[in-house]
Amino acid sequence: MTWEADMVVSANNDRYVVGVDYGTLSGRALVVRVSDGTEAGTAVHEYRHGVMDRELAATGERLPPDWALQDPSDYLAVLRIAVPAAVQCAGIDPAAVIGVATDFTACTVLPATADGTPLCMLPGLEGRPHAYPKLWKHHAAQPHADRINALAHERKEPWIARYGGKVSSEWQYAKALQLLEEDPELYVRADRWIEAADWIIWQLTGAETRNACTAGYKGIWQDGHYPSRDFLAALDPDFADFAADKLDHPVSALGTQAGTLTAEAAEWTGLPEGIAVAVGNVDAHVTAPAARAVEPGQMVVIMGTSTCHVMNSADLAEIPGMCGAVDGGIIAGKWGYEAGQSSVGDIFAWFTTNAVPGSYREEAANRGISVHDLLTEEAAAQPAGAHGLVALDWFGGNRSVLVDHHLSGAIAGLTLATRPGEIYRALLESTAFGTRVIIEAFESARLAVTELIVAGGLVKNDLLMQIYADVMRRPLSVLGSDQGPALGSAIHAAVAAGAYPDVPAAAQAMGKVKRDVYHPDPASADIYDELYAEYVTLHDYFGRGGNEVMHRLRALRDRVLGAHAGDDPDDGDTTSAALDDVTGAS
């Protein structure tokens, strides 16, 4: 490296960047000092339309089950409201801002004209649901995803292995196929099918770009191309040219400059016209550099309602159950791996809402603590193994090595003496075992995991963190900011502005990590080795065909309720769910 750090730091002392993190319900702007990552000010703007999952705001039309739309005007409002507010909060001169970058939920994708206008903003189309952005958790394209997966395996498409054998109903193809088949006129009018992550950059710069992260993880862009015309035609003849017509565009590496801030966007944001704007990015992935996790083997575990695991590697390996392996998907020049657990914090929330007696709520209220705190206290009072329980963490299915959304949760070992805090602890542990399965999958593929860095809303739970350290028998480092994604975006802004030569260098200066915050306790780790062995036995029994009871129970449920079996509200999860907790006011 020829770059002279000291000189740059000195030059960057009075320079700032803005990172904007677009979550599910709000957008956050964070003003960060370029030299050292100091977080100078922040502001949040809640989307006026939130998530449209019951009715279309423009008309009041009722939406079908499992739909989830957004209004792109809300994204623009974040630029107009949250960005200036953050700058004001920071008390800096806007002229000191040298760059801006964003991260977004994904796959959140919309149809647009050739000039980037969302179809829903065209006169006469505001009443057409398919004209709006489909949020990551729009799950109504499951039948389309099922067809894509079946065909990919039938044709032995090489890319399917990069996604753990299964692409999600949330991704670009399933959602586009739904558009084509349910509103073909709008499909034709959509010159572009574009991630919101890229669309927002288009608004800031006036230039269309496509970032490597969403192209790879959500757009099946592998080895320099999209799925073949033959494949798409086999799905639907009218879909043959989908990728060529509506997706194809040069793909930009993360951290590169997409363009400069237009006069219009400068007016919205109050930032200087002409400053650098980085290419788009995704909330989970952008968190890695915020935690200085840019080297191979540094795994960032982002724990919220669900958990994402992101890690770089010099090598390509096909690992069962990956959400995706993408060249430059996290850091340019390295293979980025994303894995995940469908539900983590979701399970704990389900438990406190549905399975904790009122006496706990009363005691927690009297003591001014949360029910989670009280359960944690009860759970922490016992040593590992004392509850005699083992649980499977598949309350939201399994999108880890089994890639099976029709699995479900289980608990064994219950007695008449079992207490709520004990079940709670068993559920905490089950999610740690789930992460250990993922780490072992990486290591089985000869991708060594050398450091674990935890992030996200659940990091606040000391007991949970200690359990993870013990179950993994590794120390845990902790991301040093509550605003991981926005900080990660700010790092990319600094690189796009030329303040650092690359993202690793910027991450080194601006990222924040506390090393070895939690240390494994050898005695607990020994006990967890025993419990993990029990977990794996049950995992394989229920998840690998030993007993297909969970599938049969679900099929029976659907049959009894007369439900559409492919139309599954429990199905699918994305990185965004995990990130909501990071960015939210948890």
What is the per-residue binding string for a copy of itself in 194-233, x denoting contact by CB under 8 A? ----------------------------------------
Stretch that binds a copy of itself, among 120-128, 244-252, 403-411, 461-469 (CB under 8 A): 403-411
- 387 binding a copy of itself? (CB under 8 A): yes
- 424 binding a copy of itself? (CB under 8 A): no
Q: Are 204 and 79 in contact (CB under 8 A)?
A: yes
Q: Which long-range contacts (C-beta less than 8 Å, at least 24 apart) are formed by 127-130?
A: 127/56, 127/58, 127/59, 127/61, 128/183, 128/186, 129/56, 129/61, 129/63, 129/67, 129/69, 130/178, 130/179, 130/182, 130/183, 130/186
Q: Are 105 and 579 in contact (CB under 8 A)?
A: yes
Q: Which is nearer to a copy of itself, 158 or 569 (CB)?
A: 569
Q: Are 449 and 476 in contact (CB under 8 A)?
A: no
Runs of H (alpha helix) within 477-548: 484-496, 503-510, 522-543
CB neighbour class for 460 (10 Å; exposed up to 12, middle 13-18, buried from 19): middle
Residue among 385, 475, 501, 566 that touches a copy of itself (CB under 8 A): 385
- 557 binding a copy of itself? (CB under 8 A): yes
Q: Which is nearer to a copy of itself, 497 or 550 (CB)?
A: 550
Q: Which is nearer to a copy of itself, 245 or 363 (CB)?
A: 363
Cα dihedral angle (454, 459, 461, 464), rounded to 10 degrees? Answer: -20
Residue among 347, 464, 476, 582 that touches a copy of itself (CB under 8 A): 347
Instruction: State the minimum distance, in angstroms, from the CB of residue 544 to a copy of itself.
Output: 14
C-alpha 323/C-alpha 106 separation (Å) is 12
**β-strands 335-341, 324-327 pairing:** antiparallel
C-alpha 130/C-alpha 528 separation (Å) is 49
Q: Are 162 and 222 in contact (CB under 8 A)?
A: yes
Q: Which is nearer to a copy of itself, 152 or 402 (CB)?
A: 402
Q: Which is nearer to a copy of itself, 180 or 389 (CB)?
A: 389
Tokens encoding 402: 């089994």
What is the per-residue binding string for a copy of itself in 22-61, x denoting contact by CB under 8 A? ----------------------------------------
- 390 binding a copy of itself? (CB under 8 A): yes
478 three-class SS? strand
Residue among 265, 509, 550, 579 that touches a copy of itself (CB under 8 A): 550
| Kind plus residue range of the DSSP H or E element containing 193 | strand 192-195
Stretch that binds a copy of itself, among 88-96, 159-167, 286-294, 353-361 (CB under 8 A): 353-361
Residue (of 524, 354, 535, 523) closest to 430 by Cα position = 535
Instruction: State the minimum distance, in angstroms, from the CB of residue 534 to a copy of itself.
Output: 5
Residue among 252, 287, 343, 489 that touches a copy of itself (CB under 8 A): 343
- Residue-level length of the chain: 586
Please report how many Cα atoms fall inside a 13 Å half-sphere around the Cα of residue 149, on the Cβ side: 19
- 409 binding a copy of itself? (CB under 8 A): yes
How many residues bind to a copy of itself according to rule CB under 8 A? 59
Place of tokens 């191309």: 225
Cα-based distances in Å from 518 to 241, 293, 356, 465, 469:
52, 17, 28, 7, 6
Stretch that binds a copy of itself, among 3-11, 163-171, 531-539, 578-586 (CB under 8 A): 531-539
Instruction: State the minimum distance, in angstroms, from the CB of residue 139 to a copy of itself.
Output: 13
- 532 binding a copy of itself? (CB under 8 A): no
Residue among 234, 534, 566, 567 that touches a copy of itself (CB under 8 A): 534
- 366 binding a copy of itself? (CB under 8 A): no
**Residue 271, amino acid:** L
Instruction: State the minimum distance, in angstroms, from the CB of residue 86 to a copy of itself.
Output: 34
Q: Which is nearer to a copy of itself, 408 or 583 (CB)?
A: 408
Q: Which is nearer to a copy of itself, 43 or 356 (CB)?
A: 356
Instruction: State the minimum distance, in angstroms, from the CB of residue 67 to a copy of itself.
Output: 17
C-alpha 236/C-alpha 243 separation (Å) is 13
Instruction: State the minimum distance, in angstroms, from the CB of residue 362 to a copy of itself.
Output: 7
Residue among 84, 143, 320, 413 that touches a copy of itself (CB under 8 A): 413
Instruction: State the minimum distance, in angstroms, from the CB of residue 420 to a copy of itself.
Output: 6
- 417 binding a copy of itself? (CB under 8 A): yes
Find all residues with CB under 8 Å of 156, minimum gap 6, and list them: none
Beta bridge partners of residue 337, listed in sequence order: 311, 325
- Binding region for a copy of itself (CB under 8 A): 343, 346-347, 350, 353-362, 383-390, 395-396, 408-420, 423, 527, 530-531, 534, 537-538, 541-542, 547, 549-550, 552-554, 556-557, 559-561, 569-570
